[in-house]
Chains A and B, each alone.
Chain A
Amino acid sequence: MTTHQIVPAALLTLADGRFPAGGHAHSGGVEVAVADGTVHDVASLYEFLHGRLHTTGLTQAALAAAAADAADPAGLDAHADARHPAAVQRRVSRAQGRAVLRAGRAAWPAPVLEALAVGCPDGPHHAVALGAVAAAAELSPGHAALAITYGTVTGPASAALRLLGLDPYGVHGVIARLGEDCERVAAQAAACICEPWADLPAATGPLSDLAAIRHEHWEVRLFAS
């Protein structure tokens, strides 16, 4: 990203944690990681987020970029399904996708979003919806990828802050230090979109997948995922 270019304001709106798309209720696996002791301070949060960014983050970014580039993003539905190994993750992804689409349709009404709502009656996957909304906001596939990678970091970071009472300055120091990683992953994702969709990145974190399944059956949990 060149430094002298003004970033579109729509990207800030889309990536803002206050964008009402339900993100605050999801921990991105941090609630389990905190309970397991894997995440217990700012340094371990950094390790968790770094790993998440380069696995799930890349996969999500590629889906978002492809959706932003697609004439019919609903066609990505099966490819997104295949990239969420646990059933609970598919449900969570679709719930978040519905939310992004709802907020996106109000913010940037466009035929592509209406078509996506019709094409995915159970709700589009999160990354697919976000990519389509980015396109409706006249953002590029790279912007869509950056928005979702940034959310991959900030959502769990905010959950860790709330669960552990971490120092907010420390947490945002971590987010800032992961900024270049976010840009790199987004650029990598945006570079993949010409491939057939089946060849899009499919990196996952098996421990996170298992954690999501365990989390669903907890008696007491504060986050939806």
Chain B
Amino acid sequence: MHRDHLDPADLIGLTQDRSGPLRVGVGGPVGSGKTALVAALCRALADELSVVVVTNDIYTTEDADFLRHNGVLADDRIRAVRTGCCPHTAIRDDITANLDEVEDLERRHDPDLVLVESGGDNLTATFSYGLIDRQIFVVDVAGGDKVPRKGGPGVTRSDLLVINKIDLADRVGADLDVMRRDSATQRGDLPTVLISLRAPDGVRPVVDWVRAGLHAHTH
């Protein structure tokens, strides 16, 4: 095969054309509430939808255990992936281990929704769209109200930015208006929600976003 230039037809098929359940990635820095958000989403949706979860905890199967112990999902609907000290690689540059687990769960359970929770990383760690369809980036007010202004691909490009723990804003001196304004500046038309998972039904704005995503994905 020796040609000066490829025919455009040679590039067909290089982008995965995937039908199947909606896959949502949940990323964000350590301690921002990714696991709590996944648990809350499962609690809110598991009665009406078939949900499976893949977690990428860096150290142990702790995240998966957290979901099990909260009685959110059956054991066989949760998988933990080991990322060899590279949580960002496992969700972006080399998605192999996660794809293996996602596809196996899809074969076994034929779910409506797949949640992939990344290991805690930094503001630059985002998902490859070869692994997921949409991604949520979770930050929290305790990480400082300058986080949205700092930007990075998680803040600027994620499909939904979640600013969590707004109940702590007063205690840590975080200005929610600043965070809201900076997020809007960084993200243009992309949505941002400010929530507290501790509040009753605090996860509702994210549930609504997932439902809208499911509707768009299947219609």
- The residue from A18, A22, A221, A222 contacting B96, defined by CB atoms under 8 A apart: A22
Query: Interface readout for A71-83 with B: 1 if CB under 8 Å, 0 if not?
Result: 0000000000000
Residue of A nearest to B84 (CB): A25
Q: How far is the CA of A221 from the CA of B84 in the complex (A)?
A: 9
Contact count A vs B, C-beta below 8 Å: 60
If A24-B90, A223-B84 touch, does A98 touch B60 (CB 8 Å cutoff)? no
Residues A222 and B85 in contact, CB atoms below 8 Å apart: yes
Least Cβ–Cβ distance between A157 and chain B, in angstroms: 13
Residues B84 and A162 in contact, CB atoms below 8 Å apart: yes
Confirm or deny: A159 has a beta carbon within 8 angstroms of a beta carbon on chain B: yes
Least Cβ–Cβ distance between A125 and chain B, in angstroms: 16
Confirm or deny: B68 has a beta carbon within 8 angstroms of a beta carbon on chain A: no
Least Cβ–Cβ distance between A94 and chain B, in angstroms: 11
Q: How far is the CA of A23 from the CA of B89 in the complex (A)?
A: 11
Question: Considering the complex, which residues of chain B in the window 60-100 have a beta carbon less than 8 Å from any beta carbon of chain A?
Answer: 60, 81-86, 89-90, 93-97, 99-100
Question: Considering the complex, which residues of chain B in the window 19-33 have a beta carbon less than 8 Å from any beta carbon of chain A?
Answer: none
Least Cβ–Cβ distance between A98 and chain B, in angstroms: 7
Looking at chain B's contact residues, is the secondary structure mostly helix, strand, loop, or mixed?
A: loop
Total chain A interface residues with beta-carbon distance under 8 A: 25
Residues A21 and B94 in contact, CB atoms below 8 Å apart: yes
If A99-B100, A220-B59, A220-B60 touch, does A159 touch B95 (CB 8 Å cutoff)? no
Confirm or deny: A102 has a beta carbon within 8 angstroms of a beta carbon on chain B: yes
Residues B90 and A25 in contact, CB atoms below 8 Å apart: yes
Question: Considering the complex, which residues of chain A in the window 1-60 have a beta carbon less than 8 Å from any beta carbon of chain B?
Answer: 18, 20-27
Residues B82 and A24 in contact, CB atoms below 8 Å apart: no
Q: How far is the CA of A24 from the CA of B83 in the complex (A)?
A: 7
Q: How far is the CA of A163 from the CA of B58 in the complex (A)?
A: 13
Residues A222 and B100 in contact, CB atoms below 8 Å apart: no
Confirm or deny: B216 has a beta carbon within 8 angstroms of a beta carbon on chain A: no
- The residue from A25, A103, A220, A221 contacting B97, defined by CB atoms under 8 A apart: A25
On chain A, the residues within 8 Å of B86 by CB distance are 24-25, 162
Query: Interface readout for B88-115 with A: 1 if CB under 8 Å, 0 if not?
Result: 0110011111011000000000000000
**Residues of chain B at the chain A interface (Cβ within 8 Å):** 13-14, 58-60, 81-86, 89-90, 93-97, 99-100
24 A-B pairs in the complex with CB atoms less than 8 angstroms apart? A20-B95, A20-B96, A21-B94, A22-B96, A22-B100, A24-B83, A25-B81, A25-B82, A25-B84, A25-B86, A25-B90, A102-B96, A106-B14, A220-B59, A220-B60, A222-B58, A222-B59, A222-B82, A222-B83, A222-B85, A223-B82, A223-B84, A224-B84, A224-B97
Closest 10 CB pairs of A and B: A22-B96, A25-B84, A20-B94, A99-B96, A162-B85, A224-B82, A223-B84, A24-B84, A24-B89, A24-B86
